[in-house]
Chains A and B, each alone.
Chain A
Amino acid sequence: MADLRMKSVRVQKLIFEKSIPGRIGSNVPKADTPEVDLNDVLGSTRKELHLPEVGELEVMRHFVNLSHLTYGIETGFYPLGSCTMKYNPRINEVTASLSGFKNIHPMQPEYTVPGALEVLMNVYEILSAITGFDEITMQPVAGAHGEMTCLMLIKAYHESRGEGDKRKIVLIPDSAHGTNPASAARCGYDVKTIPTDKEGNTDLAALEAALDDTVAAFMVTNPSTLGLFEPNITKVCELVHSVGGQVFCDGANMNAMVGTTRPGDHGFDCMHLNLHKTFSTPHGGGGPGCGAIGLQNHLEPYLPAPALKRKDGKAYFDHNRPHTIGRVSSFYGQFLMAVRALTYLLAYGKEYMADISRYSVLNANYVQALLKDVLPAAHPRPCMHECVLTAKKYKEHGVRALDISKRLIDYGFHPPTNYFPLIVPECLMIEPTETEAKQTLDSFCSALIKICEEAVSNPDILHDAPTTQVVGRLDEAKAVKMLDVAWKPTQETANV
Chain B
Amino acid sequence: MPYIPHTEQDVREMLATIGVDSIDDLFVEIPEDLRLKGQLDIPNQMDEHTLLGYMQGLSEQNLDLSRTVCYLGAGIYDRFIPSTVGAVLSRGEFLTAYTPYQPEASQGYLQTIYEFQSMVAELYGMDIANASMYDGATSMAEAAIMATGIKKRNRVAASRAIHPNSRKVLGTYCWSMDVQVDDLHTEDGATTDWSNVTEETACVIVQYPNFYGVIEDLTAARKAADKVGAMLIVVADPTACGILPPPGEFGADVVVGEGQPLGIPMGFGGPLLGLFACKTEYVRLIPGRIVGRTTDAEGRTGFTMTLRTREQDIRREKATSNICTNEALMALASTVYMSALGKNGLRKVAETSVRNTQYAIQKLTEAGGQLRFGGKVFGEFVLELPKSASAVRDALLEQGILAGLPLGDYDPTLENCLLIAVTEVRTKAQIDDFAMKLKKELGN
Contact = CB atoms under 8 A, between A and B. Distances in A.
A330 B165 contact: yes
Contact of B138 (A329, A337, A350, A478): A329
A305 B32 CA distance: 38
Given A70-B107, A141-B270, A336-B268, 11 more contacts: A11-B107, A102-B265, A105-B78, A177-B312, A187-B176, A262-B34, A282-B95, A284-B332, A353-B40, A415-B102, A471-B107
Contacts of B36: 259-262, 354
19 contacts: A25-B339, A42-B215, A46-B242, A52-B343, A88-B96, A99-B65, A106-B269, A113-B62, A116-B62, A125-B42, A262-B34, A286-B100, A288-B270, A335-B269, A351-B45, A369-B17, A405-B102, A414-B102, A474-B294
A311 to B, nearest CB: 17
A342 B271 contact: no
Interface stretch (B114-122, B191-199, B226-234): B114-122
Given A286-B100, A479-B292, A51 B44 contact: no
A45 B243 contact: yes
Given A28-B345, A51-B343, A104-B64, A98 B59 contact: yes
A32 B428 contact: yes
A336 B435 CA distance: 33
B108 A182 contact: no
Contacts of B338: 51-52
A466 B302 CA distance: 14
B317 A181 contact: yes
Contact of B119 (A51, A365, A414): A51
Contacts of A487: 114-115, 118
B245 A473 contact: no
Contacts of A109: 393-394, 397
Contacts of B324: 142-144, 178-179
A265 B30 CA distance: 12
Given A359-B4, A435-B4, A474 B104 contact: yes
Contacts of A89: 3
Given A33-B428, A59-B339, A105-B402, A64 B26 contact: no
B23 A358 contact: yes
Contact of A483 (B74, B96, B283, B311): B283
B221 interface: no
A233 B221 CA distance: 53
B285 interface: no
A139 to B, nearest CB: 9
Given A45-B244, A99-B66, A283-B98, A16 B115 contact: yes
B23 A352 contact: no
B268 A113 contact: yes
B436 interface: no
Interface in A321-365: 325-337, 339, 342-343, 345-355, 358-359, 361-363, 365
A35 B289 CA distance: 42
A346 B294 CA distance: 45
A438 interface: yes
A337 to B, nearest CB: 6
A361 B26 contact: yes
Of A23, A24, A33, A276, most buried by chain B (CB within 10 Å of CB) is A33
A93 interface: yes
A351 B45 CA distance: 6
B47 to A, nearest CB: 9
B328 interface: yes
Interface stretch (A77-85, A241-249, A393-401): A77-85
Contacts of A87: 3
Given A103-B64, A113-B63, A473-B104, A362 B11 contact: yes
B150 interface: no
Contacts of B129: 486
B187 interface: no
B42 A63 contact: no
B123 A49 contact: yes
Cβ-closest 9 pairs across A and B = A349-B45, A106-B269, A331-B269, A284-B329, A100-B59, A115-B61, A74-B92, A69-B108, A66-B108
Contacts of B136: 330
Nearest to B99: A286
Contact of B169 (A15, A326, A333, A334): A326
Interface in A348-397: 348-355, 358-359, 361-363, 365-366, 368-370, 381-382, 384
Contacts of B61: 100, 113-115, 118
A179 B101 CA distance: 16
Contacts of B98: 78, 80, 83, 85, 283, 285-286
Interface stretch (A147-155, A203-211, A454-462): A147-155
A183 interface: yes
Given A23-B342, A478-B295, A49 B99 contact: no
A186 B321 CA distance: 7
B70 to A, nearest CB: 7
A129 B167 CA distance: 34
Contact of A231 (B29, B65, B270, B302): B29
A389 B14 CA distance: 19
A313 interface: no
Interface in A442-496: 466, 469-476, 478-480, 482-489, 493, 496
B276 to A, nearest CB: 12
B14 to A, nearest CB: 5
A47 B245 CA distance: 7
A300 interface: no
B367 interface: no
B424 A29 contact: yes
A91 B51 contact: yes
Contacts of B6: 359, 362, 437-438
A329 B137 contact: yes
B343 A330 contact: no
Contact of A67 (B94, B137, B303, B346): B94
Contact of B27 (A14, A114, A260): A260
A72 interface: yes
A4 interface: no
Contact of B342 (A51, A366, A406): A51
Contacts of B303: 474
A105 B266 contact: yes
B296 A473 contact: yes
Interface in A1-53: 2, 6, 11-12, 14-16, 19, 23-26, 28-36, 38, 41-47, 49-53
A233 to B, nearest CB: 8
Contacts of A382: 20, 25-29
A36 to B, nearest CB: 5
B62 A34 contact: no
A285 B75 CA distance: 25
A75 interface: yes
Given A141-B271, A362-B11, A484 B293 contact: yes
B317 A355 contact: no
A130 interface: yes
B34 to A, nearest CB: 5
Contacts of B376: 41-43
A362 B26 contact: yes
Contact of B172 (A6, A152, A333, A474): A152
B30 A28 contact: no
Contacts of A32: 427-428
B220 interface: no
A191 to B, nearest CB: 4
Given A188-B176, A234-B34, A333-B270, A59 B84 contact: yes
A167 interface: no
B411 interface: no
A326 B175 contact: yes
B383 interface: no
B169 A330 contact: yes
Contact of B115 (A15, A38, A88): A15
A72 B342 CA distance: 28
A62 interface: yes
B341 interface: yes
